[in-house]
Each structure stands twice: as structure tokens, then as C-alpha cells.
Amino acid sequence: MPTYLNSPKLYKLFPELCYQISKRHKEYRNACTLEKRNQVIHEMNEAIFKLHKQGKEPTLAQVRKLLTKPGYTRDQFFQDALFKTRQELGYEN
């Protein structure tokens, strides 16, 4: 990486521009995260409904088998989404 990119001089010379760039990049990262979460939730819901239509209870283990990246289900956000969908289908009280 060129040294000028890590230079604090840029921040001293162009503080407002650096702030705008940083803010825009943060917004971009947040948008990417949100989009990825929505994609995973959609894939997870498809797996849940597929299992439900087959007459199988959509457990976390069963859903993981159908996901392209099952590691996402370790995140509490996705486990909560699974619980909510299971509630809607009548599997949870």
C-alpha cells in the first residue's frame, strides 16, 4: 500500500473531504451488511418452508443442511429469525 494513503497529512489538509469519504464508506458497508442479511434470511425462509411442505419440522440443524453458508446461523440475529418463522408456522408456543 502506498505510504501516502496512510499519511495523516491528508486528514490535516482535507479534513472535510476525508470525513465525507469515511462517512460514505461506512454507509456503504452498512448497506452491504443489510443486503447480505436480507439474502440469508430469504434463503433461510425458503429452506424452512421447503422442510415444512415436506412434513418435516424445520429445526436449526435441518435448515443448516439446506443453506449455502450454514455458518450464518451461528449469529443470534438469524437464530431469532428462524424462531420467529417457526412461531408463524406453529412450531413454537
Name the residue with cell 424462531: 83
Q: What is the mean pLDDT of the chain?
A: 89
User: Rounded distance, CA 57 to CA 47, Å?
Assistant: 11
Tell me: pLDDT of 53 over 90.
yes
Hey, what amino acid is at 88?
E
Average pLDDT, stretch 34-42? 95
Taking residues 23-47, what's their average pLDDT? 95
Confidence of residue 91 (pLDDT cuts 50, 70, 90): confident
The answer to whether 92 and 86 have CB atoms below 8 angstroms apart is yes
